[in-house]
Amino acid sequence: MSSWKLTLPCTRAEAEAIDANDEAVFEIDPSPVLLTSEVIADDPLAWQLEAYFESKPNSAALASVQALVPSSAGVKAVAEKIRDADWVTLSQAGIEPVHAGRFYVHTDTNKGKVPAGAKAFRIDAGLAFGTGTHETTSGCLLALDRLKAEGKRFENVVDIGTGTGLLAFAALHLWPRAYATASDIDARAVDVTAENAEINGIRLGGQQGELALAAAAGVEHPLLIGRAPYDLVIANILAGPLVELAPSIGAVLAEGGTLILAGLLKGQVNTVAQAYRRQGLRLVDRADRGDWPTLTLAKRVRYGTERVTRLSRGKGEAPGFGSW
């Protein structure tokens, strides 16, 4: 099979922005698989972007990829034809497995030796963000691992902006009897999550130990609202959407519930944290991986007539939105 490869210079900041901004990638047609890597170790200005296409890209597709890395504006974007090549294998060749806490994340081509006691997930590089290689995703894995080590128990979990489904899979591994939901604004990411669920033996459905899926902007979906309130919410997206979604995320988080936020930069922590303080949440932990912090927050418990409650449910019945 023939494929096409476009290589462009970029900076580390541009490479990290690509990982965090999957919407721009989803709009490119034909869809590329993107790989960023260092050209010179520890030089933030010497990185490169490689884009792999399964079919020949037109000039519009090349221009769209180049727009992701503005520093390459002076370079002519030309796709190189690669003969008899496995384009997925090529695109994943430079990706190393990630060992974060008790989790080990690998692709189809780089499994290597799974560390003793680690839970392995296969998440192939592709259109959806969240293979575990980016600091935001691995930071969330470590936050989940820490919560488990602290003895926390969760019964109703939602992963907003799931990308590949990895964080939802990890939560279900830690709390296998929980109800779990994963959503993404892009329907293709939901399809990717379903495919990855099958690969990793995750059952889809609405019962305990199963994962329910929805394509939704934030929490604006009947499934997400109907299964609220959640005692654990994970949102690994961008700082802007995190601030915008603070009221709705705060509303679906149960009193005393835990919220994990990622996708923001160090300079954006105060803005994001303040947005959630207004919703009655407090910051209980912060862990930085490079320039990318992961925040863990808790929602205060209200007492008296203002306290929000939910209706009881029968045995085996999925969580309901109750009196929200």
Q: Output the domain CATH number for residue 183.
A: 3.40.50.150
Strands ordered across the beta sheet of 119-122: 98-100, 103-106, 119-122
Give yes or no: residues 83 and 187 share one domain.
Answer: no
Phi, psi dihedrals of residue 183, rounded to the nearest 5°: -140, 160
Alpha-carbon span 82 to 286, nearest angstrom: 44
166 and 75 within one domain: no
| Residue 252 and residue 204 in contact, taking contact as beta carbons nearer than 8 Å | no
88 and 132 part of one domain: no
Residue 316 resides in a domain: no
248 and 103 within one domain? yes
Residues 220 and 271 in one domain: yes
**For the chain, what is the domain count?**
2
pLDDT along the chain (324 residues), means of 10: 84 79 74 81 87 88 94 94 58 69 88 90 66 76 97 97 93 98 90 94 97 94 96 93 95 97 91 96 94 94 50 39 29
- Let me know if residue 240 belongs to a domain: yes
* CATH code, 11: 3.30.70
Scanning the structure block, which residue is given the tokens 């059952």? 203
Whether residue 324 is contained in a domain is answered as: no
**Residue 304 has what pLDDT?**
44
Residue 32 inside a domain? The answer is yes
pTM confidence score: 0.71
Distances (CA, A) of 149 to 102, 146, 175: 10, 5, 12
What is the structure's pLDDT at 307?
Answer: 42
Please tell me whether residues 232 and 278 are part of one structural domain.
yes
User: Given this model, what pLDDT does residue 286 score?
Assistant: 96
Does 169 share its domain with 153? yes
The answer on whether 161 is annotated among ligand-binding residues is yes
Q: Are residues 39 and 161 in the same domain?
A: no
Strand order in the sheet with 253-262: 211-215, 179-184, 156-160, 230-236, 253-262, 292-299, 281-289
Range of the domain at 67: 3-92
Let me know if residue 116 belongs to a domain.
yes
Closest CA to 148 of 185, 178, 114, 191: 178
Q: Tokens for 262, please give them.
A: 């990622």
Quickly count: other Cβ atoms within 10 Å of residue 54's Cβ: 15
Same domain for 184 and 157: yes
Q: Which domain-ending residue is among 53, 70, 92?
A: 92
Contacts of 297 (CB under 8 A, 6+ apart): 258, 259, 260, 261, 273, 276, 281, 282, 283, 284
User: If we measure between CA atoms, which residue out of 130, 129, 101, 98 comes closest to residue 112?
Assistant: 98
Written as six digits, the tokens of 216 are 């939704």
Tell me whether strands 119-122 and 103-106 are parallel, antiparallel or unpaired. Answer: parallel
Q: Has 236 been labeled as part of a binding site?
A: yes
Residues 77 and 157 reside in one and the same domain: no
Q: What is the pLDDT of residue 35?
A: 79
Cβ neighbours of 51 (radius 10 Å): 28
Q: Do 187 and 269 belong to one domain?
A: yes
Evaluate whether residue 285 is within a structural domain. Answer: yes
| End-of-domain residue from the set 50, 69, 92 | 92
